[in-house]
Amino acid sequence: MTTNPDTICPCGNTKDDIALSYTYCCKPFHKGLALPSTPEILMRSRYSAFVLKEYEYLIATHHCDYLNGLTAQALAQSEEPNWLSLDILSTWSRGQSGEVCFQAWYQDGGELDAIHECSAFEFVDGRWFYTQGEQKAAILPKRNEPCVCNSGKKFKQCCMR
């Protein structure tokens, strides 16, 4: 998939409170030019890969012991929702293990929802890999919090309606 190099990266990562462009954020990972150095960076790059349909990257960063037959072709055939944003709730890593808890917001059929997951990661042969995740119920923003779609409006004036 071709993406405008000036496009803000779907993962929402920032540096000094300035949103990073795809070119300087997740693209080097997707194109095999760099490796994510932490579980959080891998999680962000995997979210961007879902948004941008970089299915080969998703398979390459998924630990082979946990794929359970999943292929890039199977991912390409599944219906994708309208991805809105990624919220990282917590992250840690110690030695060869790590975890990232996140909410990936999307709209599907006009309904707002999120994948709320605590994902496990393992560091093997100099690379981080996603292994598996524990699904949780989505936590909706409060009425006066910023909307998850990044419109700049309050949630009550935007996607809550």
Write down the pLDDT at residue 138. 93
Write down the pLDDT at residue 23. 95
The one-letter amino acid at 131:
T
Write down the pLDDT at residue 3. 59
Write down the pLDDT at residue 52. 96
Evaluate whether 130 touches 42 at the Cβ level (below 8 Å): yes
Write down the pLDDT at residue 46. 98
**In angstroms, what is the C-alpha Rg of the chain?**
16
Write down the pLDDT at residue 5. 59
- CA 86/CA 78 separation, integer angstroms: 20
Phi-psi region of 4 (alpha: psi -120 to 50; beta: other; left: phi over 0): beta
> Could you tell me the domains of the chain?
14-157 (3.10.450.50)
Q: Which residues contact 27 (CB under 8 A, 6 or more apart)?
A: 3, 5, 9, 33
Q: What is the pTM of this model?
A: 0.92
Write down the pLDDT at residue 34. 97
Q: What is the DSSP letter of 141?
A: P
Q: What is the pLDDT along the chain (161 residues), one digit of tens a residue?
A: 555 657 899 999 999 989 999 999 999 999 999 999 999 999 999 999 999 999 999 999 999 999 999 999 999 998 889 999 999 999 999 999 999 999 999 998 888 899 999 999 999 999 999 999 999 999 988 989 998 988 889 998 988 76
